[in-house]
Each structure stands twice: as structure tokens, then as C-alpha cells.
Amino acid sequence: GGVGKTTSSASLACGLARRGKKVAVIDFDVGLRNLDLIMGCERRVVYDFVNVVHGEATLKQALIKDKRFDNLYVLAASQTRDKDALTQEGVGKVLDDLWADGFDYIICDSPAGIEKGAFLAMYFADRAVTTRNPEVSSVRDSDRIIGLLDSKTHKAESGGLPLAFL
């Protein structure tokens, strides 16, 4: 952690919103959320991603509208739930609902490592941006993530082309 994944996700989301795109940015780091802090909406989190996945809140209730851009929304991760609280079916439904609501882009802010939240963020990705430090361990970890993106995503399972990496 600490290489700038969340900052990059927030910056990309703001840049797309500034260009007039309707954007949702989702924090997949259950238990260690930070996206709400970076986006300046930490005091407005009432419901979170896990609440929506478990049917405890609607997507409309959990999405936090950004104060700077009318077309930018944040879906915070749970701070108190276990990392295994997200399910593939539940995440897929949330993403389908966002597409149905007319979002142009959905940015999935992945946690570090290859735990469940990271896997689910990768699994549904159309494209991926890897963020790393110029250190051997960081480069090796990124190489492992790229391998997973090429083999363990919905797109790879469907016979789709490999993801584009920046």
C-alpha cells in the first residue's frame, strides 16, 4: 500500500467528471477505506458498498454526490466489515445497476494485495491501471497483478482480449 492507488483513482474520476462524463468511483478496500477522505466526503458516509451488496441500503442511498462536480459520485467501502463481505454476485449487480443508471465510467479503487476486494475490482475491470513504486518488490507485485488480470477476470474467462495497462 501507499503507492498512490487511491489518489490515482480519485484524480482519474475528477478528470473524467471535469470533461462532463458521469462517473462513479468505488472504494473496494473494505475495512481500510480512504477514498472518502481523499474525495472530501468522509462526513457524509451514511451507507456503504457492503450495505448495498447485502441489500441493507439502495445504491441511491449509498452514493455520495461530489460537491465540486454534479456528475461525480463516490461509493465508500465499509470501515467496520470483514474483507470477505463483498460477493461476486453482489458486486456484479451494483456495477450493472450503475451502468443502467447511465454512468459513463466506473472507477474501481482496489486495495493492495490480492485479497477478495482486489480480486473483485480486477474481475469486473474493462481496463486496469497499475500503480507501483520503483522498487523490486513493487515491480514484482505488479507483475503478479498483471498476470491475474490476464487470466482471472470476467473478460479473460469470456475469451476477451487482454486488458490495456498504463
DSSP states along 34-47: -HHHHTT-GGG-SS
- Checking if the pLDDT of 16 tops 90, the result is yes
Grid coordinates of 91: 458486486
**Each residue's pLDDT tens digit, 150-166:** 766 677 677 765 554 44
pLDDT-based confidence at 55, cuts 50/70/90? very high
Q: Which 3 state secondary structure label does DSSP give 103?
A: coil
Neighbours of 68 (CB within 10 A): 11
pLDDT, mean of residues 8-29: 97
> What is the DSSP pairing of strand 64-65 with strand 72-75?
antiparallel
Average pLDDT over residues 75-94: 93
| Domain annotation for the chain: domains and CATH numbers | 5-157 (3.40.50.300)
Chain segment 31-50, per-residue pLDDT in tens: 999 999 999 999 999 999 99
Per the listing, cell 456528475 goes with: 71
62: pLDDT confidence band, cut at 50, 70 and 90?
A: very high
List Cα–Cα distances, 112 to 23, 64, 103, 132, 140, in angstroms.
23, 24, 26, 10, 13
Mean pLDDT throughout 59-67?
A: 98
pLDDT given for residue 166 in this prediction: 40
The average confidence (pLDDT) of the chain is 88
Q: What is the pLDDT of residue 165?
A: 45
- Render pLDDT for 110-155 as a digit per residue (tens, 0 to 9): 988 778 888 898 888 888 887 777 878 767 777 777 777 776 667 7
3-state secondary structure 61-88: HHCEECCCCCCEEEECCCCCCCHHHCCH
pTM: 0.86
Output the nine-digit C-alpha cell for 52.
Answer: 448495498
